[in-house]
């Protein structure tokens, strides 16, 4: 059985951890100086590298090559070839325990963890506990974990990963080193997908890759999983139409063209294009959401051109150039259009005929 792309191309070193340069630098320096902390809190959106980084720490803490080769240890990276690194990569090392707090969240589970903490490592130097979705632990579970965080054995490293750091008690947060992971730029995400496509000999157009990356909303894992699904569905040649069909979203060029019709107040052409999108089986609710986001960016650029720097993180450079062209044409009267689309979007989610609120919003705001 072939491995999923997101597992096959999971970063194996801090250098491979894209989009989190500051975090990579700090942790690599800590590894170089042999000053890993006893507890970490990794917070940030899904698919940005929290669990991957936790496993990198586990490998660095137990890497046999680092223990015997001081020159290599100065690199601050795991070797990925010794027995410990290999076992951690394969997920069957007894000294690295991963816990999903979404299903293992009660006080009894944490008591079991505390008992496990007291047992020395089986073969490595450190015993590493990775608690994913940590925010879902119960109040009693947090209280039970607190003592372990305060006075852990010297051979224990605890790593909490969460997408909702505000739900982690302050008493826990204060006893950990905190790192906040951020969404990666669209360009970085597309760049990695291109490398994977080249390595896997996948024939996919740049437009299709961009839509895959956009649909993933900054998550490497989601983007790589979607690419894997597309290959299973379409074979080694993936077209923009394949991606649009699978995710129910239209590509940027279709969105750009439709927004242009609205800005130019071409109602007839816009309704005809909308009908084509609807008949093509696309999700018009998602299309409306993407359209609102597009016009919102055009409006923001119209009144604050300096926001281009922020949008360069969210869009490809050629897309930003097209957006700027529409921003120049955006006028005060188009604010009413944006408001009408937002109202329509709220109605569409509960309508048996979602295209109707959108059509009415376009006609009423542009007539």
Closest CA to 61 of 43, 42, 38: 38
With a CB cutoff of 8 Å and minimum separation 6, the contacts of 55 are: 88, 89, 96, 130
Is pLDDT above 50 for 60? yes
Interatomic CA distance for residues 194 and 250, integer angstroms: 20
Of 132-141, 221-230, 262-271, 328-337, the poorest mean pLDDT is in: 132-141
| 352-354-356 Cα angle (round to 5) | 110
Query: What pLDDT digit, counting tens, does each position of 92-102 carry?
Result: 899 998 888 87
- Note the pLDDT of residue 2: 61
Is pLDDT above 90 for 246? no
What is the pTM (predicted TM-score) of this model? 0.83
Structural domains in the chain, CATH included, are 5-180 (3.40.50.300), 186-247 (1.10.8.60), 252-366 (1.20.272.10)
- Note the pLDDT of residue 147: 80
Is pLDDT above 60 for 309? yes
pLDDT, mean of residues 118-131: 90
**Of the spans 2-16, 230-244, 264-278, which averages the highest pLDDT?**
264-278
| Average pLDDT of every residue of the chain | 90
pLDDT, mean of residues 312-336: 90
Please indicate whether residue 220 or residue 114 has the higher confidence score (pLDDT).
220
Query: What pLDDT digit, counting tens, does each position of 335-358 carry?
Result: 999 999 999 999 998 888 899 999
Please indicate whether residue 285 or residue 234 has the higher confidence score (pLDDT).
285
pLDDT, mean of residues 179-186: 90
Yes or no: say if 295 and 338 are a contact pair by the CB < 8 Å rule. yes
Is pLDDT above 80 for 63? yes
Confidence category of residue 139, pLDDT binned at 50, 70, 90: confident
Task: Walk across the sheet containing 96-100 and list its strands.
Answer: 96-100, 127-132, 156-162, 39-43, 177-180
Is pLDDT above 90 for 105? no
Query: What pLDDT digit, counting tens, does each position of 328-341 carry?
Result: 999 988 999 999 99
pLDDT, mean of residues 85-89: 93
Is pLDDT above 80 for 103? no
Closest CA to 176 of 320, 64, 65, 37: 37
Q: Is the dihedral of CA 25, 200, 255, 292 positive or negative?
A: negative
Count of alpha carbons within 13 Å of 166, Cβ hemisphere only? 1
Is pLDDT above 50 for 185? yes
Give the position of tokens 């589970």: 109
DSSP of 10-37? ---SGGG-TT-HHHHHHHHHHHHTT---
- Note the pLDDT of residue 1: 45
- Note the pLDDT of residue 345: 95
Confidence category of residue 232, pLDDT binned at 50, 70, 90: confident
Yes or no: say if 159 and 40 are a contact pair by the CB < 8 Å rule. yes
Closest CA to 59 of 13, 6, 105: 13
- Share above pLDDT 90 across residues of the chain, in percent, rounded to a whole number: 60
């Amino acid at each position: 059985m072939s491995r999923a792309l997101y597992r096959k191309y999971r970063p194996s070193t801090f250098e491979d951890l894209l989009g989190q340069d500051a975090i990579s630098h700090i942790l690599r320096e800590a590894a170089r100086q042999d000053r890993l902390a006893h507890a970490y809190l990794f917070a940030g959106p899904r698919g940005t590298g929290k669990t991957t980084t936790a496993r990198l720490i586990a490998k660095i803490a137990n890497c046999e090559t680092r223990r015997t080769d001081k020159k290599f240890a100065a690199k601050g990276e795991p070797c990925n070839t010794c027995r410990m690194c290999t076992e951690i990569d394969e997920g069957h090392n007894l000294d690295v325990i991963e816990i999903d707090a979404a299903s293992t969240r009660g006080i009894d589970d944490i008591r079991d963890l505390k008992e496990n903490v007291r047992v020395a490592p089986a073969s490595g130097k450190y015993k590493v506990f990775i608690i994913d979705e940590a925010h879902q632990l119960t109040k009693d579970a947090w209280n039970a974990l607190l003592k372990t965080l305060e006075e852990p054995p010297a051979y224990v490293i605890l790593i909490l990963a969460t997408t909702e750091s505000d739900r982690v008690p302050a008493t826990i947060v204060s006893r950990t080193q905190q790192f906040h992971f951020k969404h990666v730029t669209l360009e970085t995400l597309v760049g990695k997908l291109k490398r994977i496509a080249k390595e896997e000999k996948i024939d996919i157009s740049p437009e299709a890759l961009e839509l895959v990356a956009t649909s993933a909303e900054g998550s490497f894992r989601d983007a790589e999983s979607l690419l894997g699904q597309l290959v299973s569905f379409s074979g080694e040649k993936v077209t923009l139409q394949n991606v649009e069909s699978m995710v129910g979203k239209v590509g940027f060029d279709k969105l750009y063209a439709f927004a242009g019709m609205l800005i130019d107040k071409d109602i007839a052409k816009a309704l005809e294009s909308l009908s084509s999108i609807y008949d093509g089986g696309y999700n018009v609710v998602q299309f409306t959401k993407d359209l609102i986001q597009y016009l919102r960016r055009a409006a923001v650029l119209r009144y604050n051109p300096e926001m281009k720097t922020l949008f360069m993180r969210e869009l490809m450079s050629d897309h930003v150039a097209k957006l700027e062209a529409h921003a120049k044409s955006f006028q005060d009267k188009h604010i009413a259009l944006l408001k009408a689309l937002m109202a329509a979007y709220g109605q569409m989610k509960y309508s048996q005929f979602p295209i109707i609120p959108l059509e009415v919003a376009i006609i009423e705001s542009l007539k």
